[in-house]
A and B are shown apart, each in its own frame.
Chain A
Amino acid sequence: AQRVTQPEKLLSVFKGAPVELKCNYSYSGSPELFWYVQYSRQRLQLLLRHISRESIKGFTADLNKGETSFHLKKPFAQEEDSAMYYCALIDRGSTLGRLYFGRGTQLTVWP
Chain B
Amino acid sequence: KAGVTQTPRYLIKTRGQQVTLSCSPISGHRSVSWYQQTPGQGLQFLFEYFSETQRNKGNFPGRFSGRQFSNSRSEMNVSTLELGDSALYLCASSLGTGGKETQYFGPGTRLLVL
Contact = CB atoms under 8 A, between A and B. Distances in A.
B43 A101 contact: yes
What does DSSP make chain A's interface, helix, strand, loop or mixed?
loop
Q: Please name the 8 residue pairs, one residue from A and one from B, whose CB atoms are nearest each other, closest first.
A: A101-B43, A92-B99, A44-B105, A96-B56, A103-B42, A95-B98, A90-B99, A97-B97
B94 interface: yes
Q: Which of A44, A86, A99 has the most CB of B within 10 A?
A: A44
B41 to A, nearest CB: 9
Nearest to B50: A97
Interface of B: 3-4, 31, 33, 35, 42-45, 48, 50, 55-56, 58, 90, 92, 94, 97-108
Size band of the interface chain A makes with B: 20 to 34
Given A30-B99, A43-B105, A43-B107, A97 B94 contact: yes
What does DSSP make chain B's interface, helix, strand, loop or mixed?
strand
Contact of A45 (B56, B99, B105): B105
Given A43-B106, A43-B108, A44-B90, A97 B101 contact: yes
A49 interface: yes
Interface in A37-82: 42-46, 49
A46 B90 CA distance: 14
Contacts of A36: 105
